[in-house]
Amino acid sequence: MLRQRFIIDTTALTDTQVRESIGASTLCDGMRGVLELIADARLQLGISCYVPFPSVYDELHDFAKNNGCDSDVLAKIDTWLVKKTPDRYNVMISSRMFHEYVSHMRERINKGMNVAEDAILEAATECLFLTSEAKNKNDIEEEIEREVIGKIVGKFRNKYRNALRYGILDSAPDIDVLLLARELDAAVVASDFGIQKWAEQMGVRYVPANTFPMMLTEYLKHTATLEYRGKGELFDKL
């Protein structure tokens, strides 16, 4: 059969739905179960599962350590996932796609800023209403709202932009997953709508994390059936 390659995102091993799909009760058991399936698929089918290094690899190690997983889980990560750094210099991406990505991120950041500004305004108005003689919130002087609250919102806006807009490209591990998949012509395994969306934009195959264990199980089941049939044909010839 055609040898397949998969790029493993952190969510491919840590997502709750993945855990449920294999009947695991804890994060560590879930990671262990998926990694054992990957090991079987590697040995029996030659399927290779890659992990971007060091970004996603470090995330997986941190998840395992922070959740008290045994050393065997870390050993399985190191053994059965092929560590590879994406070729960030030679993998080509359409300039239009990059432009749309940046525009999308700017729009999302602005929406977050507007939500925060509304919360500041509401909280400040509530405090002024409680400490003033106004009978309702509409009676609060517009000058106070404009001069006091307006200045606070203005300072917040500048700090927010400096913190989030400067040099942002969202998540480096997510970008590494997509770049490595493009470089190796592999499928991405993740439980992340953002990765799914941009995988479609880049023409990269996408496998939902919660269906990946079932996919490997199906491959392995049919491989065992084919081996059994082959032995039967051999016995018939003898």
Bridge partners of residue 190, in order along the sequence = 208
**Which residues are CB-contacts of 181 (< 8 A; sequence separation ≥ 6)?**
7, 187, 188, 199, 202, 204, 205
Asked if residue 175 lies in contact with residue 9, where contact means CB atoms within 8 angstroms, the answer is no
> pLDDT grade, residue 10 (50/70/90)?
very high
Query: Does the bond joining 173 to the residue before it have cis omega, within 30 degrees of 0?
Result: no
What is the rounded end-to-end Cα distance, in angstroms, of the chain?
Answer: 27
Residues 75 and 100 in one domain: no
Which pLDDT score, from 0 to 100, does residue 32 have? 97
> Comparing 110 with 225, which gets the higher pLDDT?
110
> Comparing 56 with 106, which gets the higher pLDDT?
56
As given in the structure block, the two tokens for residue 122 are: 């509401």
Q: What percent of the chain has pLDDT over 90?
A: 48
Residues 156 and 185 in one domain: no
Q: The domain that contains 19 carries what CATH number?
A: 3.40.50.1010
**Which of 164, 197, 218 delimits the end of a domain?**
164
Q: Is pLDDT of 71 > 70?
A: yes
Which pLDDT score, from 0 to 100, does residue 8 have? 97
Length of the chain: 238
Q: How many domains does the chain have?
A: 2
Q: Is pLDDT of 85 > 50?
A: yes
Which pLDDT score, from 0 to 100, does residue 171 have? 67
Is 90 a domain residue? no
Cα angle 161, 166, 167 (rounded to 5 degrees) comes to 150
Average pLDDT over residues 123-127: 74
**Which of 122, 143, 164 delimits the end of a domain?**
164
- Which residues form the domain of 233? 5-85+172-237
pLDDT tens, position by position, 184-196: 999 999 998 888 8
Which pLDDT score, from 0 to 100, does residue 235 have? 33
Q: Is pLDDT of 238 > 60?
A: no
Asked if residue 125 lies in contact with residue 146, where contact means CB atoms within 8 angstroms, the answer is no
d(CA 53, CA 68): 22
Average pLDDT over residues 104-113: 78
Query: What pTM was estimated for this model as a whole?
Result: 0.69
Bridge partners of residue 49, in order along the sequence = 6
